[in-house]
Structure 1
Amino acid sequence: MAAASETERLLSRGPGYGTAGAAPAPVPEKEEEEEEEEELRRRLKYFFMSPCDKYRARGRRPVKLVLQLAKIVLVTVQLILFGLSNQLVVAFKEDNTVAFKHLFLKGYEDGSDDTRAIYTRGDLVEHLAFVIEKVARGHRVFFCPPRLINVTVDFQLKAINIQTLLNHEIPDCYTFSVTVSVLGGGTVPVSPQNFSGYDVCSILLGTSTLLVWVGVIRYLTFFQKYNILIVTLRVALPSVMRFCCCVAVIYLGYCFCGWIVLGPHHPKFRSLSMVSECLFSLVNGDDMFATFVALRPSGALVWLFSQVYLYSFSALFIYMVLSLFIALITGSYDTIKNQSKGLPCRTTLCW
């Protein structure tokens, strides 16, 4: 009866805390202390209530939730508009890049690589003259092919994107920094550089949108049926972090070993970053056969080492590391599920 009376008092739609009420009747000092203690306890219980319980108890509207939803709508709309604009910019850049290749690479055809191989001195002079004629426009330029090592032609072109007029917007103006270089090996690439700060804007806007959407999860924790993901992550995170620290030591060892040994013989082990990407894809079961086939060892010793290296890594991380990782998450989920049913906790993952 006491618990029911307390719930009725807490959920009653009486005056809010801090408002003036009827003057209390004189009570003894002991009863007054008990009432103050009870009032403080009710205040604390009300403070730790969820917005839904506060609304049922005192009619308090979830203002923060409404603001969060409004913020999500505003940021998402801004992201969509920016993404549509970015699509036009990317398409405009790609179209102009193809045009630059046709203009400054002699004999360029669609679908071919933008790096052209040159084998004779005559072809070298012909390609340089073609580029300089397009850029210099009548200016006399002298160079000596027998002593030529590297030649780089840098210039800028201005362009206007008139496609924005279709959306009744002001046309955008861009400046392309184009580089045509002749390297010592006899190649002529065309590389237009970045001409806007879209990358920084996209990173900031994309990250902010991600954080705003993730922030909604805290409101789902007020419902027990939707709280399973958050509670599972909270309980399993310490064990998962300690497990990942141990795995990272082994993973880095495989990365350094594969880079130094298989780098000269395998295209996917040329750099340390490529080694990490290749091993991570192997853990997820991607491109395994192609990784084995692409190995071109110079002798039986390297081939034997590569087989031991790849098989041991696949067996260790796929059959053991991933299984233990999943077991940690599953154990946390089972613990939370048992506690929700009132069963005693028999693991160290209790919370």
Structure 2
Amino acid sequence: MSHIRSGNIQRQSRKASRYGSFDPTTTSTSTAFGYWLGRDGADQHQGKEQDFRCEGVEAIKMHRRGGYNNLENAPQSPLDGANGSAFFDGAAGMINFNARIEGLDAGDKDTLERLRRHLQFFFLDPKKKFRIRRQFPFKLAFQILKIIFLTVQLILFAELRVSHVDFLDETVTVMRHKFLKEWDDERDAVVYPPESGSYAVFSSDGLIEHFSFMVTAYYNIENESFASFSYDTAQPKPLSDDGNILAHEFSHVPPLKLCIDRIADVSIQNDTYIFDISEIKECFSLDFNATEVKAIQKDPMIIREFLKARNVTFKQEDALIISKATVTFNLRTIHFSPASTDQKPECYLIAIEIVFDNSRHSGQVFVKLNTVISYVNLCNGRVLEGGVVSNMSIIISGLDIFVLILCVASLILCSRALFKAYLLERETERYFTRILGIPIEWADRMYFLNLWYVMIVVNDIFIIFGTIAKISIEFRDFDSDLFTITSLLLGGGALMVYLGLFRYLGFFNKYNILILTMKKALPNIMRFMVCAIILYCGFLLTGWVIIGPYSIKFRTLSQSSEALFSLLNGDDMFATFYTINDSNTTINIFGKVYIYTFVCLFIYIVLSLFIAIIMDAYEAVKEYANEGLKVEHSALREFLASSAPPNFDAPETREAFAAHNLLHLGL
């Protein structure tokens, strides 16, 4: 009979949770769980694997003596019989808190009733709280406003960020065309695999020609560029009569800086090379005059004489001595884009470094141009004046300030809510232990921590600091690192804001299937990923060590991981086979077998199992949703369920749940 009765109670409980009815005369108090534990909707309880089918009151008592219901030190109520039957609900085997409360003195009884009402109100969802108190949901309103205005702020910032990055990339492209001999447009295109090899020179004469080209380009940069480039000097640019280089006064042009990394010496004695591999770095200041620059333009090879006069040589026998030569200089330029949201002229300092890398001593000297572009206030000795502030700049600044105010207010409200939850948890633990003699489980303590509020606090902090950095950028602090930090903070904050929408979708059982499936599948996915990552790392290291020297896709550990992950998703398979160098037959055969094995193992087995785990969790969640809401029993949950849910729209309910009828937490 106990089996039949408990089954009827469960069916009534599921029906009540679905249709919103509650009859304390025919239904166990466990039915009230679905009403009072609605703070985060079904996602707090749906999908639990425990099946609390009652197998008789005595069996439940035996099961719970080892858990939260160890009541050896609990004060006995006069209503408790010898066998404790008054303490438990005979039908469901739960603690009869109403009987316990009735047996207490007036002070403790009033305290526990206030505590129960406070807990019940605390765990209600915002909709039910609004129905009871008719208070405006400020936190919800702030989140909606944050989403709207933060989205607009991100769109405007993205346009500014794209304009800034495009300018930097275009400037680097111009520098390569200006200072690297024979650089063509094909090298500017980002394609994979690249259409051309590494940019390099293969002879000492080629090295001299590139060096001469760079020198003449540097001294002609103000005349032959369509952009406004100038030298890094506080002196104003002298006027040119006819644009001829000889008419320039070179005194205002800063010298080039050349640094050579080399070993100490290489000598030959008795047909034997003797190396002194002590590393030496020498730096020179190369200041050419107008006559020398004109001569270099006519005959690039004559620069050997000018360099020799400055104790710099690039001879054939220096190939084993010189490891790297680096030329550095600075330029300044003005950036102005009317198409951008920010139309003010901006002055930038371009730090250029041209490296001739001979560290491999293979006869191939790699040439690289590196730039660091930063914002400065002066361009060629003149202070930039941007004129009046545009209307768009005023709108953007106002939007930033409004978003900042919204996030600060949201941060204060959510931090206050988290602190109140902490105080309520401490009071609940104190009253349960002192009055009822029941300890609060760790899971019940964690139930007071609203992780959604924690995420809101984190994203508010991100957005606040990101907005402050963005305002700093608006006031001409154009630092590329600051741009990067701002984009990370605002982008990360926006992601968490949008993820926070799932909290409100969780109040509707039909819309929270994604979160429930992820929560259900996450433990199994993490265990599965441990094994999959171990297998992946084995393939990664094997491919890098064996295939790396023979394929551009496995040249580094990072590139090897990217290539394998692309194969895992079925991308670029043929190119991976094709790029393995066939000069070594053994490696070529091993590479093909390696790729076949990896693809078959990970695509057909590992990925299929991964999808199966998620589908299994989805089916389990869908089954639970069809059966009704299942809840987990504990002392806190049964205490909440010991009171029948009231009519949320009734005036007496509003009075019962008024602030003065709840616990006073000091806030």
Q: TM-score, normalised by structure 1?
A: 0.81
When residues 339 and 2 of structure 1 are mapped into structure 2, their CA distance, relative to the original with a 3 A threshold, is: closer
When residues 128 and 224 of structure 1 are mapped into structure 2, their CA distance, relative to the original with a 3 A threshold, is: same
The 8 Å contact of residues 158 and 173 in structure 1, kept in 2 or not, is answered as: yes
Aligned residues: percent identity?
Answer: 37
Aligned partner of 1:138 in structure 2 is: 288
Q: Per the alignment, in what secondary structure is the counterpart of residue 189 of structure 1? A: strand
Q: Per the alignment, in what secondary structure is the counterpart of residue 581 of structure 2? A: coil
Is 1:238 the counterpart of 2:407 in the alignment?
A: no
Task: Please provide the CA RMSD for this pair.
Answer: 3.3
* Equivalent residue letter for 1:46: F
Q: Per the alignment, in what secondary structure is the counterpart of residue 332 of structure 2? A: strand
Is 1:154 the counterpart of 2:325 in the alignment?
A: no
When residues 145 and 272 of structure 1 are mapped into structure 2, their CA distance, relative to the original with a 3 A threshold, is: same
The 8 Å contact of residues 130 and 136 in structure 2, kept in 1 or not, is answered as: yes
The 8 Å contact of residues 51 and 61 in structure 1, kept in 2 or not, is answered as: no
Aligned partner of 1:3 in structure 2 is: 23
Q: Per the alignment, in what secondary structure is the counterpart of residue 226 of structure 1? A: coil
Q: 1:80 aligns with which of 155, 161, 174?
A: 155
Is 1:205 the counterpart of 2:490 in the alignment?
A: yes
The alpha carbon displacement at 1:312 in A equals 1.6
Cα shift readout 1:10-40 (whole Å, capped 9, x = no counterpart)? 99xxxxxxxxxxxxxxxx9899898986665
Task: Find the aligned partners of 1:297 and 1:305 in 2 and give their Cα distance.
Answer: 11
Listed as ranges, the matches of 1:108-119 within 5 Å are: 108-112=183-187, 116-119=199-202
Cα shift readout 1:93-135 (whole Å, capped 9, x = no counterpart)? 2222232123212344433469644344333222212212343
The 8 Å contact of residues 156 and 341 in structure 2, kept in 1 or not, is answered as: no
Is 1:188 the counterpart of 2:367 in the alignment?
A: yes
Task: Find the aligned partners of 2:559 and 2:313 in 1 and give their Cα distance.
Answer: 39
Is 1:54 the counterpart of 2:129 in the alignment?
A: yes
Is 1:262 the counterpart of 2:345 in the alignment?
A: no
When residues 246 and 2 of structure 1 are mapped into structure 2, their CA distance, relative to the original with a 3 A threshold, is: closer
* Equivalent residue letter for 2:206: D
The 8 Å contact of residues 51 and 62 in structure 1, kept in 2 or not, is answered as: yes
The 8 Å contact of residues 517 and 618 in structure 2, kept in 1 or not, is answered as: yes
The 8 Å contact of residues 325 and 355 in structure 2, kept in 1 or not, is answered as: yes
Unaligned 5+ residue runs, structure 2? 1-20, 37-101, 189-195, 219-254, 256-286, 293-305, 359-363, 375-479, 631-667
Task: Find the aligned partners of 1:192 and 1:203 in 2 and give their Cα distance.
Answer: 23
Task: Find the aligned partners of 1:330 and 1:153 in 2 and give their Cα distance.
Answer: 60
When residues 168 and 253 of structure 1 are mapped into structure 2, their CA distance, relative to the original with a 3 A threshold, is: closer
Is 1:63 the counterpart of 2:232 in the alignment?
A: no
Task: Find the aligned partners of 1:2 and 1:167 in 2 and give their Cα distance.
Answer: 59
The alpha carbon displacement at 1:323 in A equals 1.0
The alpha carbon displacement at 1:267 in A equals 1.7
Listed as ranges, the matches of 1:165-176 within 5 Å are: 167=341, 169-176=343-350
Q: 2:179 aligns with which of 104, 107, 119?
A: 104
The 8 Å contact of residues 329 and 351 in structure 2, kept in 1 or not, is answered as: yes
The 8 Å contact of residues 164 and 171 in structure 1, kept in 2 or not, is answered as: no
* Equivalent residue letter for 1:125: I
Aligned partner of 1:314 in structure 2 is: 599
Is 1:228 the counterpart of 2:513 in the alignment?
A: yes
More helix by share: 1
* Equivalent residue letter for 2:214: V
Q: How many residues align?
A: 327
Which structure would you say has the larger RCO, counting Cα contacts within 8 Å and 6 or more residues apart? 2
Aligned partner of 1:18 in structure 2 is: none
Task: Find the aligned partners of 1:166 and 1:310 in 2 and give their Cα distance.
Answer: 47
Aligned partner of 1:273 in structure 2 is: 558
When residues 215 and 309 of structure 1 are mapped into structure 2, their CA distance, relative to the original with a 3 A threshold, is: same
Task: Find the aligned partners of 2:213 and 2:104 in 1 and give their Cα distance.
Answer: 102
* Equivalent residue letter for 2:578: V
When residues 119 and 252 of structure 1 are mapped into structure 2, their CA distance, relative to the original with a 3 A threshold, is: closer
The alpha carbon displacement at 1:194 in A equals 5.1
* Equivalent residue letter for 1:105: L
When residues 40 and 125 of structure 1 are mapped into structure 2, their CA distance, relative to the original with a 3 A threshold, is: closer
